[in-house]
Structure 1
Amino acid sequence: MKVHFIQHESFEAPGAYLEWAMARGYQVSFSKVYEYQPLPDEHAIQNLDLLVILGGPQSPSTMQTECPYFDSQAEQTVLKRAIDAGKAVVGACLGAQLIGEALGAAYEHSPEREIGNFPIRLNRQGLDDPLLSHFGESTVVGHWHNDMPGLTPNTQILATSAGCPRQIVKYSALVYGFQCHPELTLDVVRQLIAAQANLVEQSQQHHFVQHPDEILLYDYREMNEKLWLFLDRLIEAYRQTTQN
């Protein structure tokens, strides 16, 4: 299996996504756009199996005049090509929003800012989804966002939270968007906290923003394990489509 990551910032690291790929012995490659590394071209897209597009402080509407290394339209083109080619695609936070944009669904602002670890609830469609059923009706995952992905006419909302009505969405059988961050590890959290301005003050102003000390005390292993099983199931579903 060949897994390619599009990474927007050093501190928005792949965390448990990368740990999973390495543990499985999969071939891993990166487009670290903050280092001006190129996005995969059409040939590279055809040769990959799973595309994971990570989060970042940008939004899909961020212009290159604001962030020179972030080309939203170019990334959307890559995503659309990967989806059209039948590849497995997972978007995390900004990545989920970019998937929606690539499919014609505009992202929106979330009702609440969420930073920290809070429960998400799977609805009936989520509990019935063969890739996500092991998450259970409610599970705590990481959050670090202000926005949420747009919805196409065929998008299924699989999970929500008290602060955001679109936590996990399914665009098609092999394409999922996670507004939440089950990939967070303690190392990634340390990087995010270091890059987040005024987090202590934000925790006093926003109901769904935790104090950094509380975020650092959390044990991330359970959410990581649930993400790993989802990814294993996604790869199995992908293998089945390539064998047919």
Structure 2
Amino acid sequence: MRVHFIVHEAFEAPGAYARWARDRGHTVTSTRLHAGDTLPVTADGIDLLVVMGGPQSPATTTAECPYFDAVAETALIARCAAAGKAVVGVCLGAQLLGEALGAPCLRSPEPEVGSFPVTLTEAGRRHPLFAGFDETFDTGHWHRDMPGLTPDATVLAGSAGCPRQIVAYGRFLYGFQCHMEFDQDIVEALIASAGRELAALDDHRFVQRPEQLRRNDHRETNERLALFLDRLAADRDTA
């Protein structure tokens, strides 16, 4: 499988997504927008597109962030979806996936930063790519917004702070508002990048302080993510 990552910032690295792709022997390519890379023009050469998070929003303009072009990204995502490619959007990537399919993102009821439980909906419990998952499990979070919903979208998991944590937009199209890819290196990079923004969120009930963020163990969540990706890859291969 040919896996292509769109990375907006060095501190929003693919983490467990990239480890899964390497461990399975998939061909891995990346567009590091923060480093000046150019987006692919077509979906050719991509079987799975993984769009990572970032501090931007789908409304961020190129005047505000010259290397982030939401219009170009949503166009690429739409081309991949139309071509039957698999697309996984993470945080900002999930919001861009929704936008590409015609569903504008929204503000989440609560900001979430840290490790908190998400709960599978009835549809999530019945979904074959999540079979055997615990109904409720802890995962990483670092967001203020959430993806929009198309008429055909199905919410597979939500949390106390955000009702749209995992969304299925189609057989091969998934948005993860949560961060199942987190590891210690990513968390440290996010803490370093957040600065005063993180301190300003200190009074919110779903925002953990840096000392707690560093104690969170994401290994079981990484294993769940790998299982989901194995199943997605197998489903895509049989299509």
Same-fold status (TM-score > 0.5): yes
The alpha-carbon distance between structure 1 residues 215 and 240, as it changes in their structure 2 partners (threshold 3 A), is: same
Deviation at 1:203, TM superposition (A): 5.4
Deviation at 1:199, TM superposition (A): 5.9
The alpha-carbon distance between structure 1 residues 64 and 117, as it changes in their structure 2 partners (threshold 3 A), is: same
Tell me if the contact between 1:168 and 1:177 (Cα under 8 Å) persists in the aligned partners: yes
* Count of paired positions: 239
* 2:21 corresponds to: 21
State the identity as a percent.
52
* 1:76 corresponds to: 74
Residue 161 of structure 1 aligns with an amino acid whose one-letter code is S
Cα distance in 2 for partners of 1:2, 1:32 equals 17
Tell me if the contact between 1:157 and 1:168 (Cα under 8 Å) persists in the aligned partners: yes
Deviation at 1:48, TM superposition (A): 1.3
Deviation at 1:26, TM superposition (A): 0.8
SS of residue matched to 1:64: coil
Cα distance in 2 for partners of 1:17, 1:176 equals 14
SS of residue matched to 2:87: strand
Deviation digits for residues 184-214 of structure 1, max 9, x if unmatched?
0111111011101236634531100001111
Write the mapping of 1:1-80 to structure 2, written as runs, cut at 5 A.
Answer: 1-42=1-42, 45-80=43-78
The alpha-carbon distance between structure 1 residues 200 and 76, as it changes in their structure 2 partners (threshold 3 A), is: closer
Tell me if the contact between 1:127 and 1:133 (Cα under 8 Å) persists in the aligned partners: yes
TM-score by length of 2: 0.98
Name segments (4+ residues, structure 1) moved above 3 Å. Answer: none
* 1:118 corresponds to: 116
Cα distance in 1 for partners of 2:132, 2:6 equals 27
Of 222, 226, 229, the residue aligned with 1:228 is: 226
Asked if 1:178 corresponds to 2:176, the answer is yes
Cα distance in 2 for partners of 1:199, 1:210 equals 13
Q: Which ranges in structure 2 are unaligned for 5 or more consecutive residues?
A: none
TM-score by length of 1: 0.96
RMSD: 1.0
Cα distance in 1 for partners of 2:108, 2:222 equals 24
Deviation digits for residues 48-79 of structure 1, max 9, x if unmatched?
11000000000000000000000000000000
Cα distance in 2 for partners of 1:138, 1:37 equals 38
SS of residue matched to 1:68: coil
